[in-house]
Amino acid sequence: MIQVIIERDGKRIKAFQMDGHADWDESGKDLVCAGASAVSFGAVNAVYALTAAEPVIEQSPDGGYLRIDFPSNTEPADDERVQLLLEGMIVSLQTIEREYGQYIKITFK
């Protein structure tokens, strides 16, 4: 199962973490894993492309673990864009969770 943890400071998303594998299908054919990965990496790529924010990324070289921390010292206008992109990511991940809840779980802290 993919465990997604969204960490907030008040309403602000300060970090998210994805850990584990969906095991919906074999590696290379796992649509749940592919969808969750595409959504999360797409959001991070959008943060880099559309803002000056510099998130701190930690990931395992063989997959299965991703953690992104979003510094609180980001310029306010950029941080607002970052937050909007991350909220969009959460909506997409929740859509996956609604359909495939036995393979992905989202927790808010």
Q: Give dist(CA 68, CA 54) in Å, integer.
A: 10
Q: Give dist(CA 54, CA 102) in Å, integer.
A: 33
Q: Which of 6, 13, 18, 33 is catalytic?
A: 33
Q: Which of 21, 37, 42, 53 is catalytic?
A: 21
Q: Give dist(CA 56, CA 38) in Å, integer.
A: 18
Q: Please say if 103 is a catalytic residue.
A: no
Q: Please say if 33 is a catalytic residue.
A: yes
Question: In what helix (H) or strand (E) does residue 17 lie, and over which residues does it extend?
Answer: strand 12-19
Residues annotated as catalytic are 21, 33
